[in-house]
Structures are given as C-alpha cells and as structure tokens.
C-alpha cells in the first residue's frame, strides 16, 4: 500500500493525475448511462448503444492510462510503441464491449457481476499492453504480488460497479456505479504502477518509430475530448429522457389513480408502485406499500404462483386488508416495461359487491320472496340430500301443509290480507321448528316441513299436533284466523324416494282435508288407491264431452198461484260407461278444480239454449253457471254468440249463480253481469242463505230472482228456525222487488207453507224430478186441445 502511495505521490505529476482521474470519472459516468440506454433499447439500437458505450469506456480507460503515464515522470528518456499503443486501445474497447454485453444478458442474475469483472479484465489487459508499449532507457522490473493485487482489485471493484450502476432508477445508483467504475480503473492503474520499478540503463535505446510523449499527449487530449462529448451527449439525452419519463410517470400515476380497479406494479414479488384504489382496498397508504412483498397482501402462495405463470388470465383469490379481514378479489397480471425494466402490473378487482350480489341472487333463487322461506327447488334438493344420508333405524318425515279456506280469505279480505295471513302462518309455525327441521313454501298456500333423523312417526305426529295447537290458539291469533290441514309421510317406511314421499304426504293431506280440515293424517297405503282413482276421474272427465257422455236433465219450475210450469232448470248429467251416473255435486267441483268446467259449462249453455229454442211455448230455461266461467273475461261475448246461434231470445234464458262467484273480484263480476243483462238474460241468485247472504250483494248486483236454498225448505212447516229464515228471505224479496223461488220442495206440507207465505215460485221432487226433456213434452209442446195438467193441483189431490 505504501508503495502504491509513494508511486502516486512521488513518481507522478499530481496535476496530471487529477486530470487522469477527471477523465476517468467522465468516462465512467458516460459508460453507465450509455449502458442503461442500451438496456432499454431493442435490437439494432441496443447493439448501437452498446458499441457507443464500449467505445467511450474503452477510450476512457485508455486515456486515463496514458494521461496517468504522462504524469509518470521517471526522468529517463521514454517513448511509446505505436502498434502496441493502438492495440491496447482496441483491446480496451473490445473487452469492455464484451463485458457490457454480458452484463445485459436477459434473465441472468449474475450477468452484471460477470460483465463488470470482464470490463475490469479489459482494464488490466489494456494496462499491461500499454506498459508493453512503453519504451524507456532502463530495465523494467515487476513486483508479482502487486501485479496480482492490481488485477484482483480491479476485477472485484469492476464486478460490483455494473450491478450497482444498473440497479435502481435513482441518481444515487447511477453515480454510485460510475464512481465504482472509476475506482476500479484508478485502483488498478496505480496499484499496477506501484508494481513497476525502473532501473536506468543508458545502453537501451528507444526505437526510432516510438511515439514521443508529446504527440501521445495530443492523441490523448483528442480522445478525452471525444469522451467528454459522448459523456455530455449521454447526460443530455438522459436528462431529457428523465424529464419526459417524469412527466409520463405523473400522467401514468394520475391515470392509475383514476381507475376504479386497484393497480400494482411489481418487480418480482416486490411492490414498486400502487395506485389509490389499491391502497384504499388494502387499507394503508400507497407509499407504505412500496417495497413490501406481494405476500403481505395476497397470502395464498399457490394463487400467487398461478397468477405469475399465466399472464392475462383472471384469477380469484383473497386480499388481506390491514385490519386482518379478507376481501374476495379478482386479479389479472400482465408483464410491462417499467422504469426501463421488465415488471409485472397486477390489476385488482374488488369482488365484495359481486359476491354479495351473487349471494343475494342465490338466496332469491332458493327462497320465496313473501315469507323468506326456502322454495320448492331448494326444499327438493335438501330432501334428496337427506334421503341419501339416511342411516338405518332413522327416518325422514315430510309434513305437507295446506291452509284451510285460504281462497276465501283472499276473496273476502283481499290479497294483502292473504299475504299477511301467509306471513303470520310462517312465523308461527317456524317458531316451533329446530335446526333439524326445515320449512319451505312450495307455492300458493302449500307448505312443507322436512324432519330429518327422527326415530319414527311419533315425532312427526307431535310436531303436527303442536302446529295445530299454536294455530288454534285464538288468544294470539292474527287478524284473520288461519288453520291448516297436514299430511305426513315417512321415508323409508312409506317411500324410498323424494317423488313418492312427497306424493304420499300429499295424499295424506288430501285425506285430512276431506275428513274435516284442521287435522293431520298419516299416509296409509290404501289412500294411494283413492288418489289414483281420483286421477282417473279427472282423466275421464276431460274426455266426457268428446265421448258424448254428458246430457241434460230438466226440472220444472212452477208459478205457485197459477199452478203453471214457467220454466225448467237444466242440470247436467254424466253417464260414464264404467262408472255409471255421476252426480254433478261430485264432478262439477272436480271440473272447476282442473279447469274442465269451461268447456263443460259452454256445452251446457249451448245444449240448453238449443233445446229451449225448439219448444213451442216460450218457457224459460235456467242454467247453472260456475264462478270460474263468470271470471272468464269473454263470458258475456260467448253467451251472446250462443244466443245468436241457437236463436233463443235472451229473455228466455236465466243464469243461476252462487254468492261465492261474486266475492272473488267484485268489480269484474259486476261488469260481466251487466253485459249479460244487456243481452236480456236474467240472473238468479242460487242457494241463497248458505253463503255470505249479504244484503249489499243483493243490492249491488242486477239480480232478477232469489232462489232459497233447499236446506231451508226441508221441513220448513215444522222447523221454527227454517221457517223464520224463509219468511225473512221472502220479505227481503218483496222489499227489493225480486221474485223468490223455493227449491227442494218434497212434501205437500212444505208446499202449503210456501203458498201461505206467498212465495212466488217452487221447484222440487214433489212437482217433478229432474229428467230428460221428453218427459215434459206436455209443457214444451202442448196439444192445443189438451191443456197441460197443473202439477200443483195434481200433487195436492194425491
């Protein structure tokens, strides 16, 4: 070390040493900057910048050496061999070029280190070639230790210089790299010079062709100026570029901050930039994110690896908020060049809202909006699951519930009240359930309860009882009292699969309805047969018209005072080859339920009108019209068509409707009835006294006649209560100006009572059973010579 110090301090002209150092610094700065340009350039531009960098660095090293040599004043005649001097320059440029190229090998971590060492090797080769070009009148003696030290020192510092110079983006790194390169050159040079001892020997002469030191000085000066030029150009380009990139960076940051998605720029696993959205998402400032690892925000290492290996593919994972909570996110990665180097940009989309929406949609798809209960699809899936998981000795119970008279609640109190009743029912019943039990709304007023893992029917029965009990408890009943019928079936005892299990529970429910409502019934095998039979009836009923199995019976209606038949009520009959005669009391409700009432009702109206139009006397024909028919918007229009087709005057037709037909949709029914009246058709209120028997209905609707239900006529002469009601209805008719007809008159006593109370008309077995119209030919086609008999007189005398 002392030797090196002595070499610089005593053997050198220090002013020229300073100049050498200055040239060296300039050359090094230029080298690093130009190298960085080469790195961000592509293809031919990269080779060009590499060449410029190699030339300037090579010249710099060379000039530093020779200026330093000029500063070396051994005081003995000396000169330089031209060839070797030029070769040393070529070697410096070539080896520097190789080193710089190696330092930029892509995806090789050690490139900059090895490249730096090669550049340092170039310095050494140049130096010792330069020394070989040095001709002096003396013997040059080398200290091998310092020679070795000079090479090792240069190589070590050079190996650090390039990685430092290429590392970060800030000036610190660039200048650090340049200074290290300077240090590598200078330390090598002066250590190597320290290794030299010259023993003067005047016998050695300097060759004629040797370049005198003066000329060399001119060459070196030109070379130095060249370096200065290149370095300045490098700096200017760099500054300009820097400004542009700063502007660009600002613009990019503004843009990145404006995006809704979180954006991250990463160098490998390290975050180097983050936008506002991301910092909001993760809950800390963008600055504090810089330098942190991706891992701290995205803990799932498998997801990270997948993300990095598949650019432009979306991936769902979780983001760790700084408060520890996890947020579902979607990531997409793309490679970019950022700060002149390959980086990754990661877009982060918050999936919280989407997940919540998905969950909501999932909920909606599986639940009923009104009651919040699981719906049929969800219920079915659960039943399937539970059946599959059934263990020996355990049973699965299904309770099917159907509200009693729910249609009437809707009809009487409106749909809002119906909805409230369903909600009240839901909350009261679900309060009785535990975790093992699930209640679902299958539709309308149909509900089902799943009981999993029960040991037998008793558990299901107990639940059914407590449901009936809680609903029957009037004390805390809602505005509209509700009751339900319950059918129960068990798996595996009753059925092995969901479909038949639900069917069987339904069959048991049907039985509960039939046997009085507000009760529960277990499924029994024989019930199945009944239900199958009912399905067959439905099937046959649909085909009844096309198979010509319907016909009309007619029952006479009489004017009491005149004892004359004034009309007939048409009553439909179904004669099925295998079932025989089926009462309309049985099949009409079924037809209403399955919708077959529309074609049947239409057929009855057509047939009755066609028939009545053939009568010689203008007797009236009364036809029963069901509520379902009346709610068909086209009813009046169709009726009009039937009248025209049959040629029957409207005033000879009367339709009989019951009160239940009115209440479902008052306004629509009223409009339909007005249209019917406009056709001249009359309207009778059938079965009066059994329904709501509301006065307001009688007043609001355009009735022409009241029919007292036959249940009041039965024993009216002896039953005080029935008599009171019949008197009241008769009084009502008088008050409203509506004639009253009593149906179901079976005895003379009943008839006499009605005569005494001056009822207007009568109908019943006593006066004529419903029968084929031919039976009544004497009334419909009377013989001019033989007036029709008076049934009243006839029966009275009998």
Give min distance, CB of 679 to ligand C2E, in A: 19
216 binding partner (options ligand C2E, Ca ion, none; Cβ < 5 to 8 Å by kind)? none
Output the smallest distance, CB 480 to Ca ion, in A. 29
Q: How many C-beta neighbours within 10 Å does residue 140 have?
A: 14
Given Ca ion, ligand C2E, none, residue 604, with its beta carbon under 5 to 8 Å by kind, binds ligand C2E
Interface residue list for Ca ion (CB under 5 A):
624, 656, 686-687
**End-to-end CA distance of the chain, in Å?**
157
Q: Write out the binding residues for ligand C2E, residues 510-569 only, by CB under 6 A.
A: 555
Reduced to 3 states, what is the DSSP secondary structure of residue 168? coil
> Checking phi first, is residue 341 left (phi over 0); if not, alpha (psi -120 to 50) or beta?
beta
Which one of residues 238, 445, 687, 760 is an interface residue with ligand C2E (CB under 6 A)? Answer: 687
Residue sitting closest to Ca ion (CB): 656
Pick from 588, 661, 685, 751 the residue near ligand C2E by CB under 6 A.
588
Q: Any idea how long the chain is?
A: 798
Query: Residue 510's beta-bridge partner residues?
Result: none
Piece in contact with ligand C2E (CB under 6 A), picked from 19-27, 298-306, 409-417, 744-752: 744-752
* Tokens 């005895």 found at: 747
The string of DSSP letters for 52-112 reads HHHHHHHHHHHHHHHHHHHHB--SS-EEE-HHHHHHHHHHHHHHHHHHHHHHT-TT-TTHH
For residues 672, 674, 679, 681, the Cα torsion angle rounded to the nearest 10 degrees is: 90
Task: Note whether 750 binds ligand C2E by CB under 6 A.
Answer: no
Cis previous bond, 492, omega within 30: yes
Question: What is the DSSP-derived secondary structure letter of residue 789?
Answer: P
> Of the two residues 100 and 571, which places its CB atom closer to ligand C2E in the complex?
571
Among 116, 418, 567, 601, binds ligand C2E (CB under 6 A): 601
Site residues for ligand C2E, 162-181, by CB under 6 A, read none
Q: Which of residues 710, 716, 753, 754 is near ligand C2E by CB under 6 A?
A: 710
* Shortest distance in whole angstroms from residue 706 CB to Ca ion: 11
Cα–Cα distance measured from residue 319 to residue 331, given in angstroms and rounded to the nearest whole number: 10
Q: Give the pair of three-digit tokens for residue 310.
A: 């598949």
Between residues 96 and 624, which has the closer beta carbon with respect to Ca ion?
624
Element (H, E) at 790: none
764 binds ligand C2E (CB under 6 A): yes
Query: What element of type H or E holds 447?
Result: strand 446-454
Distant-in-sequence, close-in-space partners of 401: CB < 8 Å, separation ≥ 6: 429, 446, 447, 448, 449, 467, 484, 485, 486, 509
Measured CA to CA, the distance from residue 21 to residue 17 in angstroms comes to: 6
Q: What, of ligand C2E, Ca ion, none, does residue 421 touch, CB below 5 to 8 Å by kind?
A: none
770 binds, among Ca ion, ligand C2E, none (CB under 5 to 8 A by kind): ligand C2E
* Whole-number Å distance between alpha carbons of 699 and 439: 45
- Are β-strands 705-708 and 682-688 bridged in parallel, bridged antiparallel, or unpaired? parallel
* Residue 394 CB, nearest approach to ligand C2E (Å): 49
Q: Other CB atoms closer than 10 Å to residue 306's CB: what's the count?
A: 15
Among 375, 770, 780, 791, binds ligand C2E (CB under 6 A): 770
Which residue number, 411 or 686, has a Cβ lying nearer to ligand C2E?
686
CB of 557 vs ligand C2E, minimal distance in Å = 10
Q: How far is the CB of 767 from ligand C2E (least distance, A)?
A: 8
- Listed residue (541, 509, 513, 531) closest to 522, CA to CA: 509
Q: Which is nearer to ligand C2E, 363 or 765 (CB)?
A: 765
Alpha carbon separation from 474 to 423, 430, 464, 479, 483 (Å, rounded): 17, 18, 18, 10, 11
By CB under 6 A, the count of residues binding ligand C2E is: 23
Choose from Ca ion, ligand C2E, none: what does 571 bind? Cβ within 5-8 Å by kind: ligand C2E
Please, which residue, 350 or 686, has the CB nearer to Ca ion? 686
> 68 or 745: whose CB is closer to ligand C2E?
745
- Report residue 762 as tokens: 């009568």
Q: Give dist(CA 122, CA 61) in Å, integer.
A: 9
Closer CB to ligand C2E, residue 624 or residue 669? 624
Q: Pick one of 110, 142, 363, 765: the residue that binds ligand C2E (CB under 6 A).
A: 765
- The item of ligand C2E, Ca ion, none sharing an interface with residue 744, based on CB under 5 to 8 Å by kind, is ligand C2E
332, 360, 352, 356: which is closest to 281 by C-alpha? 352
Give min distance, CB of 607 to Ca ion, in A.
Answer: 16
- Helices 457-472 and 415-430: angle between axes, nearest 10 degrees: 130
What residue 765 binds from Ca ion, ligand C2E, none (CB within 5 to 8 A, per partner kind)? ligand C2E
| Residue 557: strand pairing partners | 567
- Span interacting with ligand C2E, options 224-232, 246-254, 416-424, 741-749, rule CB under 6 A: 741-749
Compute the least distance from the CB of residue 601 to ligand C2E, in Å. 6
Q: Is 596 in the site for ligand C2E (CB under 6 A)?
A: no
| Burial group, residue 647, by CB count within 10 angstroms (0-12, 13-18, 19+) | exposed
Q: Which stretch binds ligand C2E (CB under 6 A): 159-167, 243-251, 475-483, 579-587?
A: 579-587
Residue closer to ligand C2E, measured from CB, 624 or 780? 624
> Which of positions 385-404 make contact with ligand C2E (CB under 6 A)?
none
The alpha carbon dihedral of 77, 83, 85, 88 has a sign of negative
Q: Which residues between 614 and 673 bind ligand C2E (CB under 6 A)?
A: 624-626, 656
Applying CB under 6 A, among 746, 749, 757, 790 the residue interacting with ligand C2E is: 746
Q: Which is nearer to Ca ion, 266 or 623 (CB)?
A: 623
583 binds ligand C2E (CB under 6 A): yes
Buried b (16+ CB within 10 A) or exposed e, 95-134: bbbbbbbbbbeeeeeebbbbbbbbbbbbbbbbbbbbbebb
Tokens of 420: 């409230």
- Contacting residue, 463, 572, 722, 754, with ligand C2E by CB under 6 A: 572
Please tell me whether residue 191 binds ligand C2E under the rule CB under 6 A. Answer: no
712 membership: H or E segment, kind and range: helix 710-713
Binding site for ligand C2E (CB under 6 A): 555, 571-572, 583-585, 588, 601, 604, 624-626, 656, 686-687, 710, 743-746, 764-765, 770
């Amino acid at each position: 070390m002392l030797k090196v110090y002595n070499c610089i301090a005593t053997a050198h002209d220090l002013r020229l040493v300073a100049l050498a150092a200055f040239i060296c610094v300039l050359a090094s700065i230029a080298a690093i900057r130009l190298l960085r340009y080469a790195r961000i350039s592509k293809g031919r531009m990269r080779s060009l910048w590499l060449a410029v960098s190699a030339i300037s660095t090579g010249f710099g090293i060379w000039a530093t050496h020779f200026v330093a040599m000029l500063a070396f004043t051994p005081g003995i005649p000396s000169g330089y061999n031209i060839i070797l001097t030029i070769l040393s320059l070529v070697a410096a440029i070539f080896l520097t070029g190789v080193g710089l190229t190696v330092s930029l090998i892509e995806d090789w971590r050690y490139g900059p280190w090895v490249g730096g060492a090669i550049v340092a090797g170039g310095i050494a080769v140049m130096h010792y070639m330069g020394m070989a070009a040095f001709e002096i009148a003396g013997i040059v003696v080398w200290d091998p230790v310092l020679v070795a030290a000079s090479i090792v020192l240069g190589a070590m510092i050079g190996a650090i210089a390039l990685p430092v110079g290429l590392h970060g983006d800030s000036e610190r790194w660039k200048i650090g790299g340049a200074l290290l390169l300077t240090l590598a050159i200078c330390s090598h040079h002066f250590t190597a010079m320290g290794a030299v001892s010259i023993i003067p020997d005047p016998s050695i002469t300097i060759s004629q062709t040797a370049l005198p030191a003066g000329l060399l000085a001119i060459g070196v000066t030109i070379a130095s100026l060249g370096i200065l030029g290149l370095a300045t150009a490098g700096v200017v380009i760099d500054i300009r570029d820097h400004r542009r990139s700063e502007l660009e960076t600002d613009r990019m940051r503004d843009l990145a901050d404006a995006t809704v998605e979180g954006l991250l720029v990463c160098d490998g696993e390290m975050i180097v930039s983050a936008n506002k959205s991301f910092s909001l998402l993760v809950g800390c400032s963008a600055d504090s994110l810089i330098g942190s690892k991706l891992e701290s925000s995205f803990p799932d290492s498998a997801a990270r690896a997948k993300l990095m290996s598949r650019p432009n593919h979306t991936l769902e994972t979780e983001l760790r908020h700084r408060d520890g909570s996890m947020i579902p996110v979607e990531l997409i990665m793309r490679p970019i060049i950022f700060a002149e180097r390959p980086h990754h940009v990661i877009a982060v989309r918050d999936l919280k809202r989407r997940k919540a929406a998905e969950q909501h949609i999932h909920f909606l798809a599986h639940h009923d909006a009104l009651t919040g209960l699981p719906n049929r699809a969800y219920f079915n899936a659960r039943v399937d699951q539970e059946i599959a998981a059934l263990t020996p000795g355990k049973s699965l119970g299904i309770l099917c519930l159907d509200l009693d008279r729910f249609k009437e609640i809707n009809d009487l109190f409106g749909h809002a009240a119906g909805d409230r009743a369903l909600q009240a029912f839901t909350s009261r019943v679900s309060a009785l359930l535990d975790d093992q039990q699930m209640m679902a709304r299958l539709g309308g007023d149909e509900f089902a309860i799943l009981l999993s893992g029960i040991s037998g029917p008793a558990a299901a029965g107990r639940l059914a009882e407590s449901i009936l009990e809680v609903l029957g408890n009037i004390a805390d009943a809602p505005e509209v009292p509700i009751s339900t019928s319950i059918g129960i079936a068990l798996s595996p005892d009753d059925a092995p699969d969901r479909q038949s299990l639900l069917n069987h529970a339904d069959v048991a429910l049907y039985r509960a309805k039939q046997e009085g409502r507000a009760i529960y019934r277990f499924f029994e095998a024989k019930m199945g047969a009944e239900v199958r039979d009912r399905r067959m009836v439905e099937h046959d009923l649909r085909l009844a018209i096309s198979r010509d199995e319907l016909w009309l019976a007619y029952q006479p209606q009489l004017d009491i005072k005149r004892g004359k038949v004034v009309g007939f009520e048409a009553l439909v009959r179904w004669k099925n080859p295998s079932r025989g005669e089926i009462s309309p009391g049985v099949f009409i409700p079924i037809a209403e339920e399955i919708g077959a009432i529309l074609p049947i009702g239409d057929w009855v109206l057509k047939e009755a009108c066609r028939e009545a139009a053939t009568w010689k006397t203008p007797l009236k024909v009364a036809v029963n019209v069901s509520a379902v028919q009346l709610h068909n918007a086209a009813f009046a229009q169709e009726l009009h068509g039937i009248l025209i087709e049959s040629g029957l005057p409207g005033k000879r037709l009367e339709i009989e409707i019951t009160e239940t037909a009115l209440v479902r949709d008052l306004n629509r029914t009223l409009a339909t009835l007005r249209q019917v009246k406009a056709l001249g058709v009359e309207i009778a209120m059938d079965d009066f006294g059994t329904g709501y028997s509301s006065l307001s209905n009688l007043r609001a609707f355009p009735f022409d006649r009241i029919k007292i239900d036959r249940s009041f006529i039965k024993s009216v002469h002896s039953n005080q209560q029935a008599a009171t009601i019949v008197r009241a209805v008769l009084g009502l008719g008088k008050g409203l100006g509506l004639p009253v007809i009593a149906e179901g008159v079976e005895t003379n006593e009943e008839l006499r009572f009605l005569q005494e109370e001056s009822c207007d008309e009568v109908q019943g077995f006593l006066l004529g059973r419903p029968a084929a119209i031919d039976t009544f030919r004497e009334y419909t086609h009377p013989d001019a010579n033989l007036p029709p008999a008076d049934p009243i007189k006839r029966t009275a005398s009998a």
